[in-house]
Amino acid sequence: MSTTTTIGVFDSGFGGLTVLRELLPLVPGAHYIYLGDTARLPYGSKSQATIARYAAESARFLESRGADHLVIACNTASALAMDEITAAVRIPVTGVISPVVQLTHDRYPGADTLILATAATVQSHAYRDSCEAAGLPATEKACPLLVPLIEEGWIDHPVTRDVLRIYLREALALCSPQVVILGCTHYPLIAPLVALTLQELGSNAEVIDSAQATARTVAHMLSQNGTPHPATTTPHAATCEFFATDSVEKFARLGSRFLARPLEEVQLVDLGG
């Protein structure tokens, strides 16, 4: 009998691959199944009911493929559909919001917190509510151009620097954060640029990455649930399967940037219209 853990990782697109990238060294012996629901992205513009239906279908797909732990590596689904996802499957589910808020609270209790996220995530106020429940005064800043810039591949680009400077200057006019949360799974790709721009603007806020925080939480949960901890087992290479609901060519091309390594074969899956 195999003791390999199978971790399902779900996002509407590619961004969740930054969570997978953080998971690989923390839980190296696991088998990973990643699903990007690329045919139906962006979730941000959809109604809550539609997002919940899509996310629940995606979660059931990953469970049906053998996942025994599910990571919702998608801010919109984490913000709007955690109840429906948890109800749709029988396996434990981890979203991206609780882990990063918990980590912020543990490290910097009571810290003034700035959350950078997409317009849809900001409109849901899921981060603000979660921060405030943890005693962290929170300001949310929508940064709608960052995802298109990152998807264009302009990671360390003068235009991206200019855009970031504009967004951060606007945000720092409203608050003096001690912590800046990257509340979108695309943003880890520009984390160094965010830290640099904050310094340029005279802020010494710490940057916390929701992908990293989520991966740590999952690794911790697995070790508590009796899954052999990577440090105590003979390490063997993680295996990965990738599924996308739209163009597998585009997924492999863009996804390799997010995963920071070439993607193995991507399989097309149809979850319906």
Burial class (CB in 10 A: 0-12, 13-18, 19+), 125: middle
Indicate the residue among 87 and 268 with the shorter CB distance to its own copies: 268
Of positions 24, 91, 145, 191, contacts its own copies by CB under 8 A: 145
* Residues 52-91 contacting its own copies, CB under 8 A: 53
Q: Which of 151, 221, 253, 269 binds its own copies (CB under 8 A)?
A: 151
Q: How many CB atoms lie within 10 A of CB 42?
A: 13
Concerning whether 143 is annotated as a catalytic residue, the answer is no
74, 131, 143, 240: the active-site residue: 74
Contact with its own copies (CB under 8 A) among 1, 2, 3, 47: 47
Distance (Å) of CA 169 to CA 5, 122, 183, 206:
44, 18, 18, 16
Residue 201's contacts (CB-CB under 8 Å, 6 or more residues apart) are 165, 168, 169, 172
Give min distance, CB of 271 to its own copies, in A.
12
Number of residues counted as binding its own copies (CB under 8 A): 23
Separation CA 79–CA 60 (nearest Å)? 19
- Among 202, 226, 262, 273, interactor with its own copies by CB under 8 A: 273
**Are 9 and 39 contacting, i.e. CB atoms less than 8 angstroms apart?**
no
CA distances from 225 to 68, 213, 239 (A): 11, 18, 21
State the nearest-atom distance from the C-beta of 247 to its own copies, in Å: 8
In the complex, the smallest distance separating the C-beta of residue 149 from its own copies, rounded to whole angstroms, is: 7
- Does the footprint of its own copies cover residue 211 (CB under 8 A)? no
Does residue 41 bind its own copies (CB under 8 A)?
A: yes
Q: Return the residue of 20, 163, 215, 263 that touches its own copies, per CB under 8 A.
A: 163
Q: Minimum Å distance from CB 26 to its own copies? A: 31
Which among 65, 84, 68, 88 is positioned nearest to 76, based on CA atoms? Answer: 84
Q: How far is the CB of 93 from its own copies (least distance, A)?
A: 23
Tell me, what amino acid is at 256?
Answer: S
Strand order in the sheet with 138-142: 138-142, 113-117, 179-182, 206-209
271 scored as a contact of its own copies (CB under 8 A)? no
- Residues for the chain: how many in total? 273
Binding its own copies by CB under 8 A: which of 87, 159, 174, 260? 159
Q: Reply yes or no on whether 184 is catalytic.
A: yes
Active-site position among 131, 143, 184, 240: 184
Binding test (CB under 8 A) with its own copies, winner from 83, 162, 170, 200: 162
* Helix (H/G/I), strand (E/B), else coil: 238: coil
Instruction: Kindly tell me the sign of the dihedral angle through the C-alpha atoms of 106, 192, 94, 112.
Output: positive
Residues involved in catalysis:
74, 184
* Contact footprint for its own copies (CB under 8 A): 38-39, 41-42, 45-47, 50, 53, 144-145, 148-149, 151-152, 158-159, 162-163, 166, 246-247, 273
